């Protein structure tokens, strides 16, 4: 086996699939393990095939879902074309498919395990089908146990999404027929049987419109049919042929109405199949299978019903009471604090100085200016609940991905602008806080001091303020009666509360949706807001958060999920969101950055948050 291929070190051969030989490899620069699928050279000699393959792979790389094996790109080295995908492993760097797991599991799968598998795969299919375009529908076309991989955390992944269409039936059948002829010539009956079984595994999971010529086009509904066969097979280890027996007839231990669910998925007419797999499962599986009840069971059911009605009544009363205490219409709870200006240290030399004969000139003490009112930003209320933060595949300080609980809070829709921060400086009369810490480094900002007055460079009034230290951001927030957002609040606000949003505006980002990899800041609201109505949560400026930074904090946070506020102490404070000169990687909602609270540069800004009432 060759040892290198382009930027990758080949660690071991994993086997051979539809695309060709499959290797476990490691990127020599990023030290990340990936899976390489090497295309046969007699396919890549056809230039039209290569052009089409590259074009359609570029569409498939856009799929970002926790249950879809991520396709990164297709490239070539030493006249060899190969596909780079995520490496999914269960243990010992060895991938395990659902087919292999089923072969080793001799009994019927537990109902809850089947439901877990189907919900994850169904979620992946629903996501891809919803992203379909007229010019490029996302259809898997080959759903079967061998194309479902099991991760080390017992997550199930759908592999080879869309590759069947790319390769076409020709190359696939050519490979299968060649392998079978080779086995036949060698007289290897076992291999022939395995190949026949492999062919049937593919064929039996196809929808009717895929099996034979039909005027009906292959569509996302074809995947729904294959999903129905998969559900039936996992429950019964049989295939639904003809007037098939219902799963609830074959297994009396099933507590949910799988028969009704599968009947909908296996409609002969594609138009009659449901468009959403998970919604259909939710609607039907929440209803239990109706079975005849004994007199004792009827009595127990009656008592349970009475208890449930009593609990429901008490819950209604409690909700009515909570409604009185906590109305739905929240509003920001602002608590402005008086400005604390730095004071001059007492001069001990003044005690021993002798009075001079010439009178000492003392300039007239100027009166402190009248307090200047702040320009308050518009705020958006983010309702509390259960959210997920962190990532599974990012840097170590973003792991593990975990669930948190947040109370309702409010956050400003934009970063603080220069014209807002200048009012704060004018009111304060300087750039130092009460502890003589710098609040802004004027050389890194668009603010300058002229004849004792703070001014803004022309054209930068509505740009986010930059060059602000954490001390300056914190002092400003207190001045307007707010606070800095916690790191958890910031990430939830940025992602719209959705785990699937890799970036504030969805699963992808480009120059039309954020300001990055540029030369300077832009005015606020230059791009569309995210789902919570917040602007520039990615790019333009990094934003200070309230929390201290700790590399391993997420390990602790997962055990204390209620309103996490970061470590009790530290060296650095957290920054979020990326900036005008960031690369795309820094714009992810879960990306964490940090710096000393007294440091800053031309990329550091902030926005405020507050509690609600």
- Residue 560: predicted pLDDT: 84
51 close to 132: Cβ distance less than 8 angstroms: no
pLDDT at position 581 is 94
Q: What is the pLDDT of residue 444?
A: 95
pLDDT band at 192 (very low <50, low <70, confident <90, very high): very low
Q: Stretch 32-55: mean pLDDT, rounded?
A: 85
The pLDDT of 38-55, averaged and rounded, is 83
Question: Which CATH number is 74's domain given?
Answer: 3.30.200.20
Question: From CA 454, how far away is CA 424, in angstroms rounded?
Answer: 10
pLDDT at res. 498:
92
Domain boundary among 54, 87, 120: 87
Average pLDDT over residues 549-575: 92
pLDDT exceeds 80 at position 187? no
User: 573 pairs with which residues across the strands?
Assistant: 548, 595
d(CA 295, CA 301): 10
pLDDT at 128 > cutoff 60: yes
Calculate mean pLDDT across residues 456-470.
94
Q: Output the pLDDT for position 234.
A: 94
The C-alpha atoms of residue 203 and residue 143 are separated, in whole angstroms, by 10
- Least trusted range by pLDDT, from 47-51, 313-317, 523-527: 313-317
Asked whether 51 and 76 are in contact (CB, 8 A), the reply is no
240, part of any domain: yes
The DSSP H or E segment spanning 211 is helix 208-211
Quote the pLDDT of residue 137. Answer: 85
Q: How far apart are CA 195 and CA 191, in angstroms?
A: 6
The pLDDT, as a whole number, for residue 353 is 55
Residues 515 and 395 in one domain: yes
DSSP three-state, residue 157: strand
361 domain residue, yes or no = no
- Could you tell me the pLDDT band of residue 126, with boundaries at 50, 70 and 90? very high
Answer yes or no: is pLDDT of 2 > 80.
no
Q: Within 10 Å of residue 226's Cβ, how many Cβ atoms?
A: 23
117 and 43 within one domain? no
142 and 252 assigned to the same domain = yes
DSSP string, 496-546: TT-TT-SBTTBS---TTT-B-SSSS---TT-S---TTS---SSBSSEEEEE
- Listed in sequence order, the residues at least 6 apart from 554 whose beta carbon sits closer than 8 Å to its beta carbon are 390, 397, 398, 399, 400, 402
Within a domain: 307: no
The predicted-structure confidence for 94-110, as pLDDT tens digits, reads as follows 788 898 889 888 888 99
pLDDT for position 476: 96
pLDDT at 298: 60
Q: pLDDT at residue 448 above 70?
A: yes
| Contact status, residue 480 vs residue 608, Cβ threshold 8 Å | yes
- CATH number for the domain harbouring residue 154: 1.10.510.10
Same domain? 69 vs 109: no
Give which of 6, 137, 144 is closest to 84, Cα–Cα: 6
* Per-residue pLDDT band at 178 (split at 50, 70, 90): low
Q: What is the rounded distance in angstroms from the CA atom of residue 309 to the CA atom of residue 287?
A: 18
pLDDT of residue 325: 37
Pairing mode of beta strands 573-576, 542-548: antiparallel
pLDDT at 331 over 80: yes
User: Which of 30-39, 154-163, 194-203, 272-281 is predicted with the least confidence, judged by mean pLDDT?
Assistant: 194-203
Domain that holds residue 44: 1-87
pLDDT at residue number 352: 56
| Mean pLDDT, the chain, integer | 84
Considering the domain architecture, whether residues 111 and 77 belong to the same structural domain is answered as no
If one counts the domains in the chain, the total is 3
- In a domain? residue 305: no
- Residue written as tokens 């098939």? 244
C-alpha distances (whole Å) from 290 to each of 113, 114, 297, 328, 457 are 22, 20, 13, 39, 74
Residue 342 lies in a domain: no
Predicted pLDDT at 470: 97
Taking the C-alpha atoms of residue 202 and residue 146, their distance in angstroms, rounded to an integer, is: 9
Q: Is 432 left (phi over 0), alpha (psi -120 to 50) or beta?
A: beta
Residue 533 belongs to a domain with what CATH number?
3.90.1580.10
pLDDT score recorded for residue 575: 97
Is the pLDDT reported for residue 609 higher than 70?
yes
**pLDDT at position 369 over 70:** no
| Rounded mean pLDDT, 567-575 | 95
Residue 359 has pLDDT above 60, yes or no: no
Q: How many other CB atoms are found less than 10 A from the CB of residue 153?
A: 9
Return the top range by mean pLDDT from 1-15, 237-251, 320-334. 237-251
pLDDT above 60 (res 485): yes
Q: Is the pLDDT of residue 289 over 60?
A: no
Which of 294, 329, 353 marks a domain boundary? 294
The answer to whether residue 347 is domain-embedded is no
Q: Are residues 512 and 395 in the same domain?
A: yes
Question: What pLDDT was estimated at residue 47?
Answer: 82
Res. 579 pLDDT band, cuts 50 70 90:
very high
CB 462 within 8 A of CB 421: no
Asked whether residue 545 is domain-assigned, the answer is yes
- Asked if 534 and 607 sit in the same domain, the reply is yes
- Do 511 and 563 lie in a common domain? yes
Q: Are residues 445 and 493 in the same domain?
A: yes
* 73, 106: one domain: no
Residue 321: the pLDDT is 47
Contact (Cβ atoms closer than 8 angstroms) between residue 581 and residue 517: yes
Cβ within 8 Å of residue 289, ≥6 positions away? 248, 254, 255, 256, 257
Q: How far apart are CA 392 and CA 67, in angstroms?
A: 12
Can you tell me the mean pLDDT for 74-101?
84
Identify the pLDDT of residue 570: 94
Q: Is position 480 within any domain?
A: yes
Domain edge (last residue) among 67, 87, 107? 87
Per-residue confidence (pLDDT) for residue 368, from 0 to 100: 47
160 lies in the same domain as 262: yes
Q: Mean pLDDT: which of 209-223, 336-350, 359-373 is highest?
A: 209-223
Residue 324 has pLDDT above 70, yes or no: no
Inter-axis angle of helices 418-428 and 470-479, nearest 10: 80
Q: Does residue 388 sit in the same domain as residue 257?
A: no
488 vs 134, more confident:
488
């Amino acid at each position: 086996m060759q040892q290198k291929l382009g930027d990758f070190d080949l660690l071991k051969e994993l086997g051979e699939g539809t695309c060709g030989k499959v290797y476990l490899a490691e990127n020599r620069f990023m030290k990340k393990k990936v899976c390489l699928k090497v295309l046969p050279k007699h396919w890549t000699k056809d230039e039209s095939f290569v052009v089409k393959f590259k074009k359609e792979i570029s569409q498939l790389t856009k799929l970002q879902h926790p249950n879809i094996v991520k396709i990164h790109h297709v490239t070539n080295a030493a006249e060899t074309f190969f596909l780079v995908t995520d490496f999914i492993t269960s243990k010992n760097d060895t991938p395990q498919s659902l087919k292999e797991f089923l072969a080793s599991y001799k009994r019927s799968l537990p109902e809850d395990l089947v439901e877990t598998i189907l919900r994850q795969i169904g979620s992946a299919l629903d996501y891809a089908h919803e992203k379909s375009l007229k010019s490029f529908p996302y259809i898997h076309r080959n759903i079967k146990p061998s194309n479902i991989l099991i991760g080390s955390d017992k997550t199930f992944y759908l592999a080879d999404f869309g590759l069947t269409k790319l390769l076409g039936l020709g190359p696939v059948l050519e490979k299968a027929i060649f392998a079978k002829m080779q086995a036949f010539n060698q007289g290897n009956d076992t291999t022939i049987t395995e190949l026949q079984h492999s062919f049937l595994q593919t064929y039996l999971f196809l929808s009717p419109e895929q099996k034979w010529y039909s005027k009906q086009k292959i569509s996302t509904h074809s995947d729904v049919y294959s999903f129905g066969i998969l559900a039936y097979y996992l429950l019964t280890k049989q295939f639904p042929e003809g007037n098939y027996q219902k799963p609830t007839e074959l297994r009396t231990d099933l507590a949910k109405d799988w028969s009704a669910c599968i009947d909908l998925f296996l409609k002969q007419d594609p138009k009659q199949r449901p468009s959403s797999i998970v919604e259909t499962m939710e609607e039907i599986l929440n209803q239990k299978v109706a079975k005849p009840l004994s007199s004792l069971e009827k009595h127990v059911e009656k008592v349970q019903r009475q208890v449930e009605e009593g609990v429901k009544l008490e819950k209604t009363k409690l909700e009515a009471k909570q409604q009185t205490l906590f109305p739905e219409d929240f509003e920001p709870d602002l608590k402005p604090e008086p400005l604390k200006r730095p004071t001059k240290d007492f001069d001990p030399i003044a005690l021993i100085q002798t009075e001079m004969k010439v009178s000492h000139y003392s300039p007239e003490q100027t009166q402190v200016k009248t307090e200047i009112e702040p320009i308050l930003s518009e705020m958006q209320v983010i309702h509390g609940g259960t959210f997920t933060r962190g990532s599974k595949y990012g840097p170590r300080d973003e792991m593990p991905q975990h669930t948190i609980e947040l109370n309702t809070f409010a956050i400003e829709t934009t970063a603080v602008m220069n014209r807002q921060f200048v009012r704060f400086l004018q009111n304060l009369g300087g750039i130092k806080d009460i502890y003589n810490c710098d609040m802004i480094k004027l050389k890194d900002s668009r603010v300058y001091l002229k004849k004792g007055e703070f001014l803004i460079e022309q054209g930068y009034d509505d740009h986010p303020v930059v060059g602000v230290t954490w001390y300056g951001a914190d002092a400003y927030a207190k001045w307007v009666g707010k606070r800095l957002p916690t790191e958890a609040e910031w990430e939830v606000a940025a992602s719209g509360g959705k785990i699937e949003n890799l970036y504030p505006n969805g699963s992808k980002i480009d120059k039309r949706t954020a300001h990055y990899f540029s030369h300077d800041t832009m005015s606020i609201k230059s791009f569309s807001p995210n789902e919570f109505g917040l602007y520039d949560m990615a790019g333009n400026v990094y934003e200070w958060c309230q929390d201290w930074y700790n590399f391993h904090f997420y390990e602790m946070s997962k055990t204390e999920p209620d309103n996490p506020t970061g470590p009790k102490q530290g060296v650095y404070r957290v920054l979020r969101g990326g900036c005008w000169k960031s690369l795309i990687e820094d714009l992810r909602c879960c990306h964490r950055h940090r710096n000393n609270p007294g440091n800053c540069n031309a990329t550091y800004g902030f926005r405020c948050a507050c509690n609600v009432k």
